[in-house]
């Protein structure tokens, strides 16, 4: 449904998006995730037709809608795509029903059909009782539902979301994640969702593109990103909690972990980064033959297990265990390292074979 080829966008010499290429299947829910400034919102604005690419192309359903190499693009209204802004951008002088009806009126839909469609989408979003109210008379969560209703009213083939949950409280964010997925299934549209929250990304997406410095670090399903991260950045960005990275290197025929020689069932020719998932580590109150001593930071109950975190200088380790000794701030916690890492990366963060 969506093909992005060598897409780039520069602002005054700064490359906000760098040579991105993706193919998004019809009906997919793609999440663009990454830290602030990674280029995800700029990509969404180019998809929506609000920014012209500096280079590369975007095609919807095989039809090119933006061509940066030739310097042209199809205007937003003709892309068969809907967009929900982070701020919702509702018309304050229009009622809820008026906001939802407005794009249908612009599309010159007959009045009777407009009224029927407005009633239909308000029922779908569960806000039919708000039809006569104005935006300043309803809550933030209700405003978000109105913005989504307005977006889907014209039945676009592509839905674009620009961090739509960032203004909601934590409980409402969880509820609205479920609601957005229900709407996605009900419409059958291809959706692209921008967020910096990797929990949203991993719980909502059929496909995830992890962005960093304007480029795509990895594209795949949530399961693929968790099971086989291709870079150290992806390994430490996705997952709850994310994977641990320990600097390792050769030492007297063995391996040194963060400068400390430990027994290991692998060999190294040079420095690297060893990845261990939190569930691969154990914790103990006393040192062992394959443990690292860190300062206890915190212990948090998570879904019936305990997440223990320790810090020593730049090294931060997190283990998820069934049981853990009682630690107090300032105590030493010993993280037990498995004989083999879950993955190895170069010092620059590339996966090692």
Query: CA 267, 270, 276, 282: dihedral to nearest 10 degrees?
Result: 60
Mean pLDDT of 249-276: 90
Per-residue pLDDT at 47: 96
Q: What sign does the dihedral 238-243-247-250 (CA atoms) show? A: negative
Across the chain, mean pLDDT equals: 92
- Of residues 279 and 174, which shows the higher confidence score? 279
Does the structure show a pLDDT above 90 at 335? yes
| pLDDT higher than 80, residue 130 | yes
279, 236 contact by CB (below 8 A): no
- SS3 of residue 116 by DSSP: helix
- Which residues have a Cβ under 8 Å from the Cβ of 177 and sit 6 or more positions away? 165, 200, 203, 204
Q: Cβ of 205: how many Cβ atoms within 10 Å?
A: 23
**277 to 196, 228, 321: CA distances (angstroms):** 21, 12, 12
Whether omega before 241 lies within 30 degrees of 0, making that bond cis, reads yes
Q: How far apart are CA 173 and CA 86, in angstroms?
A: 13
Who wins on pLDDT, 239 or 87? 239
pTM of the predicted structure, to 2 decimals: 0.86
In this prediction, residue 170 has a pLDDT band, given cuts at 50, 70 and 90, of confident
Confidence (pLDDT) at 353: 65
Percent of the chain with pLDDT over 90: 73
pLDDT in tens, 34-69: 998 899 999 999 999 999 999 999 999 999 999 999
Please write the tens of the pLDDT for every residue from 71-87.
999 999 899 999 988 78
Residue 306 has pLDDT above 90, yes or no: yes
> What confidence tens digit (pLDDT) does each residue in 140-165 have?
889 988 998 999 999 999 999 998 88
Q: Rounded to whole angstroms, how far apart are CA atoms 244 and 264?
A: 17
Catalogue all structural domains in the chain, each as residue range(s) with its CATH number. 2-234 (3.40.50.300), 244-345 (2.40.50.140)
Averaged pLDDT, 285-296: 93
Both tokens of 215, joined, read 């480029």
Handedness of CA 246, 252, 253, 254 (dihedral sign): negative
Give the residue-averaged pLDDT of 243-251.
94
The rounded distance, in Å, linking the Cα atoms of 24 and 191 is: 9
Q: What average pLDDT does this structure show over 76-100?
A: 90
343, 351 Cβ separation under 8 angstroms: yes
User: 264 falls in which pLDDT band (50, 70, 90)?
Assistant: confident
* Model confidence at 329: pLDDT above 90: no
Distances (CA, A) of 190 to 61, 77, 81, 198, 343: 11, 17, 9, 20, 33
If pLDDT is split at 50, 70 and 90, which confidence band does 15 have? very high
Those residues whose C-beta lies under 8 Å from the C-beta of residue 272, and which sit 6 or more positions away, are 247, 248, 249, 344, 345, 346, 347, 352
Q: How many CA atoms lie within 13 A of 353 on its CB side?
A: 0
CA 47/CA 302 separation, integer angstroms: 38
Output DSSP code: residue 122.
H
């Amino acid at each position: 449904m969506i093909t992005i080829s060598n897409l780039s966008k520069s602002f005054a010499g700064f490359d906000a998006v760098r040579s991105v290429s993706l193919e998004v299947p019809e009906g997919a829910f793609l999440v663009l995730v990454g830290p602030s400034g990674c280029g995800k919102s700029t990509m969404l604005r180019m998809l929506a037709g609000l920014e012209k690419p500096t280079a590369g192309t975007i095609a919807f359903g095989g039809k090119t809608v933006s061509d940066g190499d030739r310097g042209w693009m199809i205007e937003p209204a003709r892309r068969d795509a809907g967009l929900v802004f982070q701020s919702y951008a509702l018309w304050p002088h229009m009622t809820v029903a008026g906001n939802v009806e407005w794009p249908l009126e612009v599309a010159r839909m007959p009045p009777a059909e407009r009224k029927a469609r407005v009633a239909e989408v308000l029922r779908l979003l569960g806000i039919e009782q708000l039809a006569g109210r104005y935006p300043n008379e309803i809550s933030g969560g209700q405003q978000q539902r109105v913005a989504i209703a307005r977006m889907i009213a014209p039945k676009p083939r592509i839905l674009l979301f620009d961090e739509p949950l960032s203004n909601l409280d934590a409980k409402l964010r969880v509820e609205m994640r479920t609601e957005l997925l229900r709407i996605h299934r009900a419409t059958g549209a291809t959706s692209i969702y921008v967020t910096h929250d990797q929990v949203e990304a991993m719980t909502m997406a059929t496909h995830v593109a992890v962005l960093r410095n304007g480029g795509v670090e990895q594209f795949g399903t949530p399961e693929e990103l968790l099971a086989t991260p291709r870079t150290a950045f992806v390994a430490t960005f996705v997952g709850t909690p994310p994977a641990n990275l320990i600097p390792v290197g050769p030492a007297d025929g063995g391996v040194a972990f963060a400068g400390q020689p430990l027994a290991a069932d692998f060999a190294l020719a040079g420095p690297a980064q060893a990845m261990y998932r939190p569930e691969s580590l154990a914790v103990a109150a006393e040192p062992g033959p394959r443990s690292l001593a860190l300062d206890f930071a915190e212990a948090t109950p998570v879904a019936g297990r305990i997440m223990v975190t320790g810090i020593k200088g730049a090294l931060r380790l997190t283990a998820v265990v069934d049981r853990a000794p009682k630690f107090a701030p300032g105590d030493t916690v010993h993280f037990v390292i498995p004989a083999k890492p879950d993955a190895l990366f170069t010092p620059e963060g590339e996966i090692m074979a």
